[in-house]
C-alpha cells in the first residue's frame, strides 16, 4: 500500500462513503502494517499510537560482529526522484560526512556502487559486516508511513538513520536511531563520527535486541486481520461512517488538491 502523500483522494465522493478502514495508519480500524514488533514472549506489541517501550534497557547478547565495522553509512536505493526529497538530503549528508573523512556509500541506480537484487544475501551480509549506519529514507511523507526500509538495518546490526513523515517513537525505541527530520546533516555527521569513535556508546543503540524483534508481517496477516474483525459480532453491530475521509487519509489534501 502506497502512502497518502503519493495517492491523494481529492474527489468528495470518498467522504461519507466508507465505514471501515484497513491501511498502514495506526488509527485504522484494521491495521495493515509494514512492520510488526514483538516482545520477548512473541506477543505483537506494536507499532502503536501509544507505544510503551521497556525502560532502562541494557545491552545483552553477542554483539561481537560490531567490532569489524569500518564504514560510516550505506544506502540501497533505486528510486532517485521522490516527493520526500531524500536524494537531495542524501547528497547533503554525503558532503557533511566528507568533512570528517567519512563516506555515505549509495548502492543501486542512484549511486556509483552496485549490489544486485539477485545477490540480496551478499548485500545484507556486507551491510552487517562493514557499515555502522544505514539510511532508511521513505519516498514520501505521510503519518505512520514506515515501510520495510527500516527493517534492513534492524535485521543486519546497523543503526537506522530515518527520514519520513511518521512519529518514529511509535515504531522504534528511544536512542536506537537518528531522525534526519530532527537533525541537520551536519549534526548527523557529527553524531555518526562520535559513535564510530565510541564503541560502547554505539553498542547502546542495540539494547532493544534483548527486548523486541522486528518482523515483516506474513502474507496472510492482513487477510486474517480482516476475517477476525468481520467475525466480531459486537463490532459488526456498530454503524460508523467516515464523514471526512479525505482529511483522515491526508490532512493536507485541500492544499495538494487545490480546493
Is the distance from CB of 35 to CB of 150 less than 8 angstroms? yes
- CA 97 to mean position of chain CA atoms: 22
pLDDT in tens, 71-113: 999 999 988 888 889 999 999 999 999 999 999 999 998 899 9
Q: What are the φ/ψ torsions at residue 11 (nearest 5 degrees)?
A: -70, 125
What is the band of 256 on the pLDDT scale with cuts at 50, 70, 90? confident
pLDDT by residue (tens digit) across 6-47?
A: 999 999 999 999 999 999 999 999 999 999 999 999 999 999
Q: pLDDT digit string (tens) for 124-155?
A: 999 999 999 999 999 999 999 999 999 999 99
Q: What is the DSSP string of 44-103?
A: EEES-TT--PPSS----S--GGGGG--EEEEEE------TT-HHHHHHHHHHHHHTTT--
- Please report which confidence band the pLDDT of residue 250 belongs to, taking 50, 70 and 90 as the band edges: very high
Residue 66 near residue 157 (C-beta atoms within 8 A): yes
Determine whether 97 is exposed, middle or buried from the number of CB atoms within 10 Å of its CB (0-12, 13-18, 19+). Answer: buried
Average pLDDT over residues 149-171: 98
Over residues 171-229, the pLDDT tens digits come to: 999 999 999 999 999 999 999 999 999 999 999 999 999 999 999 997 778 889 899 99
- Whether pLDDT at 235 is above 90: no
C-alpha span between 62 and 242 (Å, rounded): 49
Considering only CA atoms, give the Rg of the chain: 20
Q: What is the pLDDT of residue 50?
A: 96
Q: What is the pLDDT of residue 259?
A: 62
pLDDT at 172: 98
Predicted TM-score of the model (pTM): 0.93
Rounded to 5 degrees, φ, ψ at 78 are -125, -20
Domains and CATH numbers, the chain: 12-33+217-257 (no CATH), 64-215 (3.40.50.11660)
Amino acid at each position: 500500500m502506497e502512502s497518502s502523500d503519493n495517492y491523494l483522494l481529492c474527489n468528495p465522493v470518498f467522504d461519507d462513503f466508507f465505514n471501515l478502514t484497513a491501511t498502514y495508519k495506526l488509527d485504522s480500524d484494521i491495521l495493515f502494517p509494514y512492520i510488526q514488533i514483538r516482545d520477548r514472549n512473541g506477543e505483537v506489541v506494536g507499532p502503536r499510537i501509544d507505544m510503551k517501550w521497556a525502560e532502562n534497557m541494557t545491552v545483552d547478547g553477542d554483539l561481537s560482529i560490531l567490532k569489524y565495522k569500518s564504514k560510516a553509512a550505506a544506502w540501497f536505493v533505486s528510486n532517485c526522484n521522490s516527493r520526500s526529497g531524500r536524494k537531495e538530503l542524501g547528497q547533503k549528508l554525503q558532503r557533511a560526512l566528507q568533512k570528517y573523512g567519512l563516506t555515505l556509500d549509495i548502492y543501486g541506480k542512484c549511486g556509483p556502487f552496485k549490489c544486485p537484487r539477485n545477490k540480496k544475501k551478499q548485500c545484507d551480509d556486507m551491510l552487517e559486516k562493514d557499515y555502522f549506519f544505514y539510511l532508511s529514507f521513505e519516498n514520501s511523507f505521510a503519518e505512520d508511513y514506515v515501510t520495510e526500509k527500516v527493517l534492513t538495518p534492524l535485521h543486519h546490526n546497523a543503526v537506522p538513520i530515518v527520514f519520513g513523515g511518521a512519529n518514529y517513537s511509535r515504531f522504534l525505541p528511544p536512542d536506537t536511531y537518528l531522525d534526519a527530520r530532527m537533525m541537520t546533516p551536519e549534526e548527523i555527521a557529527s553524531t555518526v563520527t562520535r559513535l564510530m569513535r565510541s564503541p560502547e556508546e554505539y553498542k547502546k543503540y542495540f539494547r532493544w535486541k534483548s527486548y523486541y524483534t522486528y518482523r515483516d508481517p506474513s502474507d496472510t496477516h492482513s487477510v486474517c486481520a480482516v476475517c477476525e474483525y468481520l467475525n466480531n459480532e459486537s463490532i459488526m453491530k456498530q454503524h460508523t461512517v467516515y464523514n471526512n475521509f479525505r482529511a483522515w487519509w491526508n490532512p493536507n489534501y485541500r492544499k495538494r488538491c487545490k480546493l
